[in-house]
Every structure is written in structure tokens, then in C-alpha cells.
Amino acid sequence: MAASRGHYPEKSFTRPALAPAILAAMALMAGAALLGSEWFIVVRFAVAILVAVMGVFAVQARAYAWLVVIVPVVVAWNPVFPLTMGGAGWAAAHLIAPIALVIAGFLIKVPATSSDRSRR
């Protein structure tokens, strides 16, 4: 019993999509204030790249159901072929998408490899 004191249990998974989800949520919240300005293109790039990274982690975790949330966000905030949306719809998307992304980032779990476990 004393041998197990001070040791944490081994986790069999990691949540690598959580960090890009939080960063994308912060960019989306900042982007709500930048709607219509020339700096909004920076928000589009940041969100599209971070959410695409989340998509890679979702595929690695075989959590394909989360691609239903991830792919539309990547398409909507795509800076190369931008979608034009009305002001109210776009503002609402900037408030709803961060919630969905953080939930997805928390629930996407990638199985931990032996090298991940040795770093802890």
C-alpha cells in the first residue's frame, strides 16, 4: 500500500485536440470584435489552421463523428475561398463555434503510446 502512494495512475489516452480547440475558441471570440475589419483575415487563418489540426487528431482518435463539427468550421472560416454570411449569422457563429470546439477538444481522446507514458 505504501508503494502506490504518490503515484498517479497510468492514463491510456491523451487529449491533444484540447489545446488547439482552446486557441481556436480564443481566436473566434477575438474575431467577433474584428468582424468587418481588415484584421479579420488573420482570424480566418488562425481558426482554419487550428481546427484543421483538430481534424487530424479526430481522425487519429477514430472519432469521426466530431468531423461533423470540425469540417463546417474549417470551410466557413477558410481564408482562401471565404464564405460571406450576414452580420447576425456570422456573429452567432462566432459565439456558438467556440463552445462546440472546446467540447470536441475535450472529448477527442487519442490512445497514448508507450513513449507518451514514459514522459510522465
Q: How confident is the model at residue 73 (pLDDT cuts 50, 70, 90)?
A: very high
Which amino acid belongs to residue 4? S
d(CA 62, CA 105): 13
Q: Between 18-33 and 40-60, two packed helices, what is the crossing angle to 10 degrees?
A: 160
Q: The whole model's pTM is what?
A: 0.82
| Whether the predicted pLDDT of 70 surpasses 60 | yes
| Whether the predicted pLDDT of 83 surpasses 70 | yes
47 Cβ neighbours under 8 A, 6+ residues apart: 24, 27, 28, 31, 73, 77
Q: Rounded to whole angstroms, what are the CA distances from 21 to 3, 28, 55?
A: 38, 10, 10
d(CA 94, CA 101): 11
Q: How confident is the model at residue 45 (pLDDT cuts 50, 70, 90)?
A: very high
d(CA 43, CA 35): 9
> With pLDDT > 70 as the criterion, what percentage of the chain qualifies?
87
Cell representation of residue 92: 452567432
Bridge partners, residue 110, by sequence: 14
Kindly state the DSSP code that residue 2 receives in the 8-state scheme: G
